[in-house]
């Protein structure tokens, strides 16, 4: 790939993760279902945030997590996402920039406030998540800078943000800008529930040759193709894409590029602590290798190592030195 300012530019939901310890009595008092994830509105987000105890706040969101993994690996990453002009918007911007990720989208005035995921952690390690999407769902086409898109080797899009009309239009514009600049487009399907609403859009992007690297887990692969099993899904989809990456949790992952196919097992770990962000970290590892021209097998291995690191602790961001881990694994 030609020399560029950034390796990967990602577009996704700009969310602040707010993690706070609590006991079961707090969950009961707030009427929360322990261990569940719920979408909440502005009023509920403000009320619950006010009731929570001391918390750790860190920039989050799927594509932003991938950027954090890329930066930890030494890749040059940039992020486009929308925050509001409020306290948590400042937290997000400061935190993501401190991680070495380029972020320059202006905050949005007025309501709704910055998106946040309020995560309550009980002594037994259970995480009860309450997500308010807020300002992240108001990313507009005006935030898409064609020159910035052209300055990255790969444009990486988060499927979650395809749901609202404005961000969907913005991402379509970004794809067009990347295509005009001769850059690659990577896309993650994010979650199988999106296929019910946008499966036809995703299939059209693939059929029109707009996606160079597609990330899908096994459930998403079957939902997108309608295939009866994993291998049939691969056979149906791989010929339509330059690179298909399919993950299978504890069963590992497969990547196919033309006639080349590679597979890896999941990296061994002592205990799965928290799977949040595993797919995001896997994408970071794979893309880090991809932009450097690594083999499919090495790209998959980088992804598997990054995913294993993040599920070994609470939180969706790497804590150990991924560079060292991957260097040790690849020799």
Q: What confidence tens digit (pLDDT) does each residue in 14-46 have? A: 999 888 899 999 999 999 999 887 889 999 998
Q: What is the mean pLDDT of residues 64-84?
A: 96
Q: Cα–Cα distance between 27 and 150 in angstroms, integer?
A: 47
CA distances, 126 to each of 36, 116, 274, 311 (Å)? 9, 19, 9, 14
**What tens digit of pLDDT does each residue of 144-160 get?**
999 999 999 999 999 99
pLDDT of residue 222: 96
pLDDT of residue 318: 80
Q: What is the mean pLDDT of residues 216-236?
A: 96
DSSP state of 317: S
pLDDT beyond 80 at 2: no
- The CB density around residue 143, as the number of other CB atoms within 10 Å, is 21
Give the ranges where the chain is alpha helix by DSSP (H): 24-30, 42-51, 62-73, 87-98, 146-150, 165-180, 193-207, 218-225, 230-237, 278-290, 296-310, 322-330
pLDDT of residue 24: 94
Q: What is the mean pLDDT of residues 105-109?
A: 96
CA distances, 62 to each of 67, 188, 239 (Å)? 9, 10, 27
More confident residue, 47 or 312: 47
Q: H/E/C letters for each residue in 194-250?
A: HHHHHHHHHHHHHHCCCCCEEEEEHHHHHHHHCCCCHHHHHHHHHHHCCEEEEECHH
Q: What is the mean pLDDT of residues 232-244?
A: 97
Q: What percent of the chain lies above the pLDDT cut of 90? A: 75
pLDDT of residue 274: 63
Q: Cα–Cα distance between 270 and 104 in angstroms, integer?
A: 39
Structural domains of the chain ordered from first start:
6-13+61-111+135-330 (3.40.1190.20)
Model-level pTM greater than 0.85? yes
Tokens for 308?
């294993």
pLDDT of residue 313: 67
Would you call 320 helix, strand, or coil by DSSP? Answer: coil
- Measured on CA atoms in the order 70, 188, 208, 228, is the torsion positive or negative? positive
Which of the four pLDDT bands, split at 50, 70 and 90, describes residue 1? Answer: very low
Mean pLDDT (the chain, rounded): 92
Determine the angle formed by the axes of helices 278-290 and 296-310, rounding to 10 degrees: 150
What is the torsion angle, in degrees rounded to the nearest 10, for the CA atoms of residue 298, residue 240, residue 187 and residue 152? Answer: 70
Q: What is the mean pLDDT of residues 285-314?
A: 91
More confident residue, 106 or 250: 106
pLDDT of residue 193: 87
Which of the four pLDDT bands, split at 50, 70 and 90, describes residue 228? Answer: very high
Which of the four pLDDT bands, split at 50, 70 and 90, describes residue 178? Answer: very high
């Amino acid at each position: 790939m030609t020399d560029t300012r950034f390796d990967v530019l990602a577009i996704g939901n700009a969310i602040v993760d707010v993690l706070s310890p609590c006991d079961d009595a707090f969950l009961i008092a707030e009427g929360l279902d322990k261990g569940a994830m719920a979408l909440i509105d502005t009023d509920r987000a403000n009320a619950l945030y006010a009731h929570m105890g001391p918390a750790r706040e860190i920039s989050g969101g799927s594509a932003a997590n991938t950027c954090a993994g890329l930066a930890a690996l030494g890749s040059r990453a940039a992020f486009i996402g929308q925050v509001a002009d409020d306290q948590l918007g400042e937290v997000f911007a400061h935190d993501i920039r401190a991680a070495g990720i380029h972020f320059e989208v202006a905050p949005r005035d007025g309501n709704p406030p910055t998106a946040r995921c309020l995560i309550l952690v009980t002594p037994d390690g259970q995480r009860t998540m309450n997500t308010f999407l807020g300002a992240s769902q108001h990313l507009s086409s005006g935030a898409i800078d064609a020159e910035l898109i052209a300055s990255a080797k790969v444009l990486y899009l988060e499927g979650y943000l395809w749901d609202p009309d404005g961000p969907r239009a913005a991402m379509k514009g970004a794809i067009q800008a990347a295509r005009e600049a001769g850059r690659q487009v990577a896309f993650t399907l994010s979650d199988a529930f999106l296929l019910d609403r946008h499966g036809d859009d995703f299939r059209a992007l693939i059929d029109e040759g707009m996606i160079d690297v597609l990330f899908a887990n096994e459930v998403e692969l079957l939902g997108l193709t309608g295939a009866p099993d994993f291998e049939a899904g691969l056979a149906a989809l791989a010929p339509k894409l330059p690179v298909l990456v399919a993950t299978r949790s504890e069963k590992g992952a497969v990547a196919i590029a033309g006639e080349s196919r590679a597979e890896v097992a999941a990296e061994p770990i002592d205990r799965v602590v928290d799977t949040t962000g595993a797919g995001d970290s896997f994408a970071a590892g794979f893309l880090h290798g991809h932009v450097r021209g690594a083999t499919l097998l090495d790209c998959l291995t980088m992804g598997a190592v990054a995913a294993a690191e993040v599920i070994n602790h609470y939180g969706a961001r790497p804590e150990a030195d991924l560079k060292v881990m991957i260097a040790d694994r690849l020799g």
